C-alpha cells in the first residue's frame, strides 16, 4: 500500500512540474522578428494604391456622366453630335471625348472596345449595348450607365422618340433588347 501511495505521489509531482509557468511582465517589449527590408509608407501600400485608382476611375466616370447629362432633352438626330441633335453613339462619343477618351463613332464598333462585364457587375461609366431591330442581327444602340441602385441599372442614351433621356434596364423594351455591357474605364 505504501508503494502505491509513493507511486501515486511521484506521478502527481512529475505531472505538475511543467504545468504552471512563471510569467513576468516587462514594460519593455522585445521584438524577436527582424523587420522587412521593404518599407511600406503610410498611403503607399498596394491596398491604398488600388483604392486610389478606384477613386480616380469613379471621378472620371462621374465627369463623363455629367458631360452626357448636359445633353438631356436634346432631340434625336441620326448622326448628330451637338445640342441641336444627337444620336446614341454620338452622345457617348462626345461625352467621352470631352474627357480625353476616344471611342469609335458607331455603336456596333464601340461594342468591340473595352472589357465585357456581367450585368450584376455593372458600374457607373460602363456601356450597355442593345439590338433594337428584329431585321438586323448586329448591335445598333448604346447607353451609358449613370447609376446602379440595388438591382436597377439606369442609363443615359438618345432615344429616337424622346431624345436624350435616362432609362432603366428594368423597362421591358430595354431589358429584351439588351445584348451586353462593357467597361471602358
Number of neighbouring beta carbons within 10 Å of residue 180: 15
pLDDT tens, 22-53? 544 455 544 344 443 444 445 566 677 778 88
Would you call 14 exposed, middle or buried from its count of C-beta atoms within 10 A (0-12, 13-18, 19+)? exposed
Q: What are the residue boundaries of the structural domains of the chain, listed by start?
A: 47-183
Closest CA to 65 of 90, 98, 87, 89: 98
Residue 89 has pLDDT above 90, yes or no: yes
Gyration radius (Cα) of the chain, Å = 32
- Categorise residue 143: left if φ over 0, alpha if ψ from -120 to 50, beta otherwise: beta
Task: Give the separation between CA 65 and CA 156, rounded to whole angstroms.
Answer: 8
Among 124, 131, 141, 183, the active-site one is: 141
Look up 157 and say whether it is catalytic.
yes
CATH of 47-183, one of 3.40.50.10420, 3.40.50.2000, 3.90.1720.10, 3.40.50.720: 3.90.1720.10
* DSSP strands (E only) in 40-111: 81-82, 85-86
> What pLDDT is stored for residue 81 in this prediction?
95
Better pLDDT: 51 or 88: 88
Residue 109 has pLDDT above 70, yes or no: yes
> What pLDDT is stored for residue 27 in this prediction?
52
Among 74, 90, 131, 157, the active-site one is: 157
Look up 88 and say whether it is catalytic.
yes
Report whether 126 contacts 179 (CB < 8 A).
Answer: no
Task: Give the separation between CA 120 and CA 56, rounded to whole angstroms.
Answer: 22
Q: Which pTM was predicted?
A: 0.72
> What pLDDT is stored for residue 113 in this prediction?
94
Among 61, 64, 68, 88, the active-site one is: 88
Task: Give the separation between CA 161 and CA 146, rounded to whole angstroms.
Answer: 20
Burial code of 24-36, b = ≥16 C-beta within 10 A, e = fewer?
eeeeeeeeeeeee
Amino acid at each position: 500500500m505504501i508503494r502505491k501511495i509513493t507511486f501515486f505521489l511521484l506521478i502527481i509531482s512529475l505531472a505538475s512540474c511543467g504545468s504552471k509557468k512563471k510569467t513576468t511582465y516587462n514594460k519593455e517589449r522585445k521584438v524577436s522578428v527582424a523587420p522587412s527590408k521593404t518599407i511600406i509608407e503610410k498611403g503607399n501600400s498596394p491596398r491604398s494604391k488600388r483604392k486610389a485608382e478606384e477613386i480616380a476611375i469613379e471621378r472620371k466616370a462621374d465627369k463623363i456622366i455629367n458631360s452626357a447629362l448636359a445633353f438631356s432633352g436634346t432631340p434625336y438626330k441620326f448622326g448628330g453630335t451637338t445640342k441641336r441633335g444627337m444620336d446614341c453613339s454620338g452622345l457617348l462619343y462626345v461625352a467621352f471625348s470631352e474627357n480625353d477618351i476616344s471611342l469609335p463613332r458607331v455603336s456596333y464598333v464601340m461594342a468591340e472596345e473595352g472589357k465585357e462585364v456581367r450585368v450584376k457587375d455593372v458600374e457607373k461609366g460602363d456601356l450597355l449595348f442593345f439590338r433594337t431591330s428584329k431585321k438586323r442581327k448586329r448591335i445598333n444602340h448604346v447607353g451609358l450607365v449613370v447609376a446602379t441602385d440595388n438591382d436597377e441599372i439606369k442609363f443615359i442614351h438618345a432615344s429616337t422618340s424622346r431624345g436624350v433621356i435616362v432609362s432603366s434596364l428594368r423597362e421591358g423594351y430595354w431589358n429584351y433588347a439588351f445584348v451586353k455591357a462593357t467597361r471602358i474605364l
